[in-house]
Structure 1
Amino acid sequence: MITYYPYGRREITFALMLWLYFMPIGITAQTPHLHQNFEKYLLKAQQDSLSPITRERYLKIAYSAIRSTRADSVKYSRISKLVEVAEHLPDTSYFIRIAAEGMQLAKDLENPAHLGDAHWNYASYYLRGKEYGRSYEHYNRAYKYFTAAKNDYYSGKMLYNMAYIASETHDLTGAEILLFRCIKIFEQAKKPRQQYRCYNVLGNNADDMEEFDKSLHYYNKASQLIPSFKDSLYYKLENLNNQGVRFHKMRNYEKAESVFTTALTYVNELSRSPALHAMLLDNKAHCLVFLGKLDDVEQDMRFAMRLRDSLGETAGSIMSRLHLANYYGKIGDTLEGIAYAKEALEMASGKELTHHKLEALELLAALDRPNTIPYLRQHIEIDKSINARDRKLRNKFTAIRYETAKYIAENERLFRQRLWIIIVGVSISAISILLYLNKLQRSKNRELLFEREQQQYDEDMYLMALTQKTNLEKGRTEERQRISKELHDHIVSRLFTLRFQWQTAPVGGEKEMLSLNRKNLNLLEQLESEIRNLSHKLRSIVYTEEERFLDTLKTLLAEKSEIGRLTSVFECKNPADWQQLSYVSKINLQRIVEEILQNVVKHARAHKISILMYRELDTLYLNVTDDGKGFKYARVKRGLGMKNMEARSQKLNGTFSIQSTIGIGTTVMIRIPFKLNIQ
């Protein structure tokens, strides 16, 4: 018998939903923890005091902290940090594995900056192993990617490293070309320290070509950049050492000694830079040997050698031994000289320092006379192999530079092509937009023209209606005047005559008849008074309508002044003349004044406004003045309101003008001919 649990599936589903809901929270909570673990173990792996095996183990723990993280730029940055540390470990297997993973991630991200960095890691690794060809190739690829990523500074650094490799392989012309390209980039990027290094390498290359004056020129150029460095004193001493070595090679030993002595006076700085101290001390002692000043030379040379040995500077230790061998040869102790020369040869052979090896063989050939020929043969064989290797590498570098030049030229061609495409595209787009805007503007102009015509039509209809109303009102006014005159001049006069005759006529009779007579006379007098009053009222109505135009302007001024909180002044010097204007003229003037007042309230920021109306000869003047901010009339766009005011002025056969001064105010002047506009 099987027992079913109908709610079991629901519980499982609910638990699964809860797990899916809280899982992102757990991942988010672990992210800072993973970051802390990575930084913690990476820092431990960078400690040189630990054994290589321990450092590699810490690197692997740091990598495990980010292995399952999302493949993005952050993960690549952390892998790149691991690669930089792994590069310095004796066992290169871990470097190869982690560097390959970093390269693949950079390719997956398709990020040129990451790809440039990945090739940079490989280039540094091969440079440490003196695999100049492979290192140069990776630096060249890194340069291309950094150029594509628009990172000029890193592009310049890649060129500098390529120039260094070219110098090491005696491709001095190629190195010089690359270095001048570097200098241009670093000048634009404002990196004086990088420029200094470029000039130093140029000086070294010129020295190798025995162009000593040119070498000193480059060192002087480098010295001019030193004051901008934060640690300028160290670089000053380094530059003095370079100049001293050049003077020594020029056999100007006194000058060389003077430069080395000057540099050695900076005791405090040299105490913080023992490698530089040992170099200066050894070079000065070596210079004194050629000057024949042999007192205390051996002591300084041995001190410099011990100091270099303690610092683990192999190349410096070899040079100290070669200088000691030369010193003993000068004083006639050839056995001691040969011993130091052989020791230098053995150290140079172990570290594959071929140039130092050749110097040791030359010195042994000079000191060990019985074995001069074997040493010279060995020197020739090594020199041949170096020349063959360098010649092969120079050819390879030349091919790479040629391909790079083609790549740059193609990029420039594509850039120009893209630029022209963009320019043409932008031009077409701009023309299309302009055509569209022109069409839109023409459409708006047609709409505005239609609106204006419609407004003009409405206005004409309105004026026609006003004219009809005016004619009606004029008829009514004339009728009132006629009735008033008839009442006053005719009916009232006849009533007065009747009443006077009746009053003066002799009346006799009964008492009732006398009372009735007086009552009728009073009634007649009362009727006369009422008719006279009615006549006066009719005249008053006509007079009020004649005065309404000026009152309307005053009312407009008062209303707009109240809205804009302005002080207003209204002055009409000859109201009778203005009252004679036609009704249409009054309406047009009223609309113009209304538009002016509206503009003052909206735009002028004025405190006071005034209207002045007067007549000179056959011209009526209406001036509206404000004390607002003013404007430049020539630069103002003439809108519909201003065009309407000008049109109304033209209908009155008049003129419309504006005088405005910034910060003082504006005056609008309307002039209309008087006789052409009267009723």
Structure 2
Amino acid sequence: MGRLIITVISIFLIFSCQDRKKSEKTKADNLIYKIKLSASYNDLRLIEDETNSFKYDTVIRNNLDAISDKYYDLEKFEDYHRVSNTILEESKKIEDTVGIIEGLCKKGAYYSNIYKLDSMYFYYTKAENYSIKTKSKYLLGTIFLNKAVINQNLNDYYNSEKNSFEALKILKNKNDYYLLYNTYLNIGYASFNQNDDREALKYFQKALNTTDKIKNNTTVLSLKGQAYYYYCLVYNKNNNYKASYISAAKGLSLDDFKTKDPHVFCNLNNCLGYSKFKLNDSNAKTHFIESLAIAKKANNIFAINTSNLYLSEYYLKYNDTSKAFLHANEVLQAANENKLYDDKLKALLLLAKASPNAATNYFETYKTLSDSIINNERQTRDKFAKIDYQTNEIISEKETIEKQKESILQQLWSVSTIAIFIILAVLLFYFIKSRNLKNKELIFIQEQQNAKEEIYELMLNQQHRIEEGKYSEKNRISQELHDGVMGKLMGIRLNLFILKKRQDPDTIEKCLPFIDDIQNVEKEIRQIAHDLNQNLFDDNVTFISIVENLFTMIKSHSDIEFILQVDERIDWDLINNNIKINIYRIIQETLQNIDKYAQASKVNLTMNKKENEIHITIADNGIGFKPDTSKKGIGLSNMKKRMEEINGKFILESIINKGTKINLIFQI
């Protein structure tokens, strides 16, 4: 019977675990729908946290892949990079080949976005070698295509064409026509820059034909328009401006690119204008001006520069050198700011023509820059070649080491098997004999260690209390001296300052009481020395009367109007004296600051009771200040510390030329 019960419980536990695993898998699968529906960044962060709560597998990898793509669409590139790192590292742990390749490609895409081509090239090269090594062609076509784009950016058109053809071999067998379109376009552009115009037109035509197979109608017309733009580049290079005009017109007729895709519109419209310009149509200028305006609105620096270059060339033809210089100089400045060296070279040649007197300087700058670009491109190509070599070398060394490691392990295993059994027998005998002794030693050492740790912890706690007491006492003395003695001395000084201007008997008579106040300050200093926590309030003096006394002291030397409003429900006698002391000091410091700095004509001080809280507001109509940028003195710091001491809130609001408001909130 007992065995039967145990068997039933075991079966129940097995099915329970299986059900729990199924439930977790269902939850993980459902996350993909949340990701697709998420529209905001905050939603995506929450979904990412939920995804990371599951054990990493291929399903979670797919979810993280979708999350990273969403971050990219939202232009949250650092989050995109963070998730890409997670995919890469977690895929390595479970030896997920697809995930590793995907993570490497995503890191390459991240560095592409911030235009760090060397890092981009490094990660795509690692992904390529990993794909070839594992015989996995997943993403290999995309990898080759991205490397081709890097080569193109470095004007390395030979390797760009080579990598594009490698991509083409793989992508031809897939249905990703968008990537195939870009591959054809890249091959055509590489051929164009290697002066093989016939081959360029052939592949531009292939790219155009491929757009008929792309199902996404929202982008297909833009892709067609871009292909016609590349046609124009070839025709302009060969001075076939009629063919260029026809291609540009065909492209522009496909769609309303002016509103739907300004980038394509500017490219085609500039080509249309340039072909007209070369065919001696004086109306060409309107196309350049229109493209320039749209490009500036879209902040498309490449189209802006192209329009300005064409306008400069146009004005040179019609001998308007001042306008030609203006547009060429604008290109030069933009090229310098954005490091667009090809545009800078074109601008320098136009500036030399527009300004003959300075032509020599422009030509020298052109030659220096041209040489520098050539050297830089050569160095960068060498650097990328070194990355290829080092990556291959590292992989080769790793494979060699792994083979050697396997061989050594096999030898060690065969030689050491018998020795291991002998050693284990000896160790077992020794372990049995010495176990009790070792256990006693370990217990004794542990007890000693615990005792030392307890003593050390006690010493640290004692030292901490001493230091904390010192700091608290110093802080308290600083507050009392600043808020009490210094405040009163400043008030007496301001009231006695009038003796410098008037020394008539009435004035002297008014100032005599303040001499007595000096004695009171002396008494207060003495009292602080004996007992800094002495109660400021006794049975004969009320809190409100002390506050009103502050008003009287300031009114004696200023024209500030003070308005005091006190809620009758507040019973100050029931409020702790320590709270009243701190509140009084804060009000005193605030009024003194208003008197010294605010240049105010009116001060409102209100005290209200709201349930079990007291709300005190001090507002002036002075010049105000910027709390975030103004220099913070000890006064404001002391106010905040005093409110913290009584578990209250200190809120400061100030607007330039509109005054300052301080809110004090504490519980009764």
TM-score by length of 1: 0.50
Tell me by how many angstroms 1:269 deviates.
Answer: 7.2
Matches of 2:83 and 2:175, distance apart in 1: 34
- Is this contact kept in 1: 2:164–2:183, CA < 8 A? yes
Count of matched residue pairs: 386
Alignment match, 1:121: 106
Matches of 1:239 and 1:269, distance apart in 2: 14
Tell me by how many angstroms 1:183 deviates.
Answer: 1.6
Tell me by how many angstroms 1:305 deviates.
Answer: 2.2
Amino acid at match of 1:329: L
Q: Call closer, same or farther: CA 1:261–1:110 in 2, change over 3 Å.
A: same
Alignment match, 2:378: 391
Please state whether the residue corresponding to 1:71 is helix, strand or coil.
coil
Matches of 2:322 and 2:375, distance apart in 1: 34
Q: Call closer, same or farther: CA 1:335–1:88 in 2, change over 3 Å.
A: farther
Tell me by how many angstroms 1:185 deviates.
Answer: 1.6
Matches of 1:399 and 1:332, distance apart in 2: 50
Alignment match, 2:317: 330
Q: Does 1:259 align with 2:247?
A: yes
TM-score by length of 2: 0.51
Matches of 1:267 and 1:24, distance apart in 2: 56
Tell me by how many angstroms 1:24 deviates.
Answer: 9.8
Bigger Rg, structure 1 or 2 = 1
Q: Does 1:342 align with 2:319?
A: no
Amino acid at match of 1:302: I
Q: Which runs of 5+ in 1 are unaligned?
A: 1-17, 48-54, 414-679
Tell me by how many angstroms 1:377 deviates.
Answer: 3.8
Q: Does 1:186 align with 2:167?
A: no
Matches of 1:270 and 1:202, distance apart in 2: 28
The correspondence for 1:157, drawn from 142, 156, 161, is 142
Q: Does 1:200 align with 2:185?
A: yes
The correspondence for 1:283, drawn from 271, 294, 312, is 271
Residue by residue over 1:183-227, the C-alpha shift from the partner in whole angstroms, topping out at 9 and shown as x without a partner, is 222223355543332222122122223332332233234344444
Alignment match, 2:54: 69
Q: Pairwise mapping of residues 661-672 of structure 1 onto structure 2 (< 5 A)? A: none
Alignment match, 2:226: 238
- Is this contact kept in 2: 1:153–1:189, CA < 8 A? no
Alignment match, 2:199: 214
Tell me by how many angstroms 1:119 deviates.
Answer: 0.7
Matches of 2:183 and 2:208, distance apart in 1: 12
Q: Pairwise mapping of residues 131-530 of structure 1 onto structure 2 (< 5 A)? A: 131-147=116-132, 151-152=136-137, 154-189=139-174, 191-230=176-215, 231=217, 234-267=222-255, 272-295=260-283, 297-401=284-388
Q: Pairwise mapping of residues 639-658 of structure 1 onto structure 2 (< 5 A)? A: none
Q: Which runs of 5+ in 2 are unaligned?
A: 1-11, 401-668
Matches of 1:222 and 1:133, distance apart in 2: 28
Residue by residue over 1:262-312, the C-alpha shift from the partner in whole angstroms, topping out at 9 and shown as x without a partner, is 3333356776444323321111102211222112x2222222222233334
- Is this contact kept in 1: 2:35–2:67, CA < 8 A? no
- Is this contact kept in 2: 1:204–1:215, CA < 8 A? yes
Q: Call closer, same or farther: CA 1:385–1:42 in 2, change over 3 Å.
A: farther
RMSD (Å), alpha carbons:
3.9
Tell me by how many angstroms 1:380 deviates.
Answer: 3.5
Tell me by how many angstroms 1:233 deviates.
Answer: 5.1
Matches of 2:130 and 2:35, distance apart in 1: 31
Q: Pairwise mapping of residues 99-110 of structure 1 onto structure 2 (< 5 A)? A: 99-110=84-95
- Is this contact kept in 2: 1:166–1:174, CA < 8 A? yes
Residue by residue over 1:292-345, the C-alpha shift from the partner in whole angstroms, topping out at 9 and shown as x without a partner, is 2112x2222222222233334332222222222222222222222322223233
- Matched-pair identity in %: 20
Please state whether the residue corresponding to 2:195 is helix, strand or coil.
coil
Amino acid at match of 1:376: F
Amino acid at match of 1:243: Y
Matches of 2:68 and 2:176, distance apart in 1: 26
- Is this contact kept in 2: 1:119–1:138, CA < 8 A? yes
Matches of 2:137 and 2:87, distance apart in 1: 23
Tell me by how many angstroms 1:246 deviates.
Answer: 0.7
Please state whether the residue corresponding to 1:188 is helix, strand or coil.
coil
- Is this contact kept in 1: 2:244–2:271, CA < 8 A? no
Amino acid at match of 1:394: R
Tell me by how many angstroms 1:399 deviates.
Answer: 4.3
Tell me by how many angstroms 1:257 deviates.
Answer: 1.7
After TM superposition, the structure 1 stretch with the greater mean CA deviation from structure 2, 358-367 or 283-292, is 358-367
- Is this contact kept in 2: 1:126–1:132, CA < 8 A? yes
Tell me by how many angstroms 1:149 deviates.
Answer: 5.7
Residue by residue over 1:126-178, the C-alpha shift from the partner in whole angstroms, topping out at 9 and shown as x without a partner, is 11222212111111112233445655362111101101111111222112221
Alignment match, 2:495: none
Matches of 1:183 and 1:132, distance apart in 2: 22
- Is this contact kept in 2: 1:365–1:371, CA < 8 A? yes
Amino acid at match of 2:142: K
Please state whether the residue corresponding to 2:173 is helix, strand or coil.
helix
Matches of 2:189 and 2:315, distance apart in 1: 28
Matches of 2:17 and 2:113, distance apart in 1: 46
Amino acid at match of 2:196: E
Q: Call closer, same or farther: CA 1:25–1:193 in 2, change over 3 Å.
A: closer
- Is this contact kept in 2: 1:167–1:205, CA < 8 A? yes
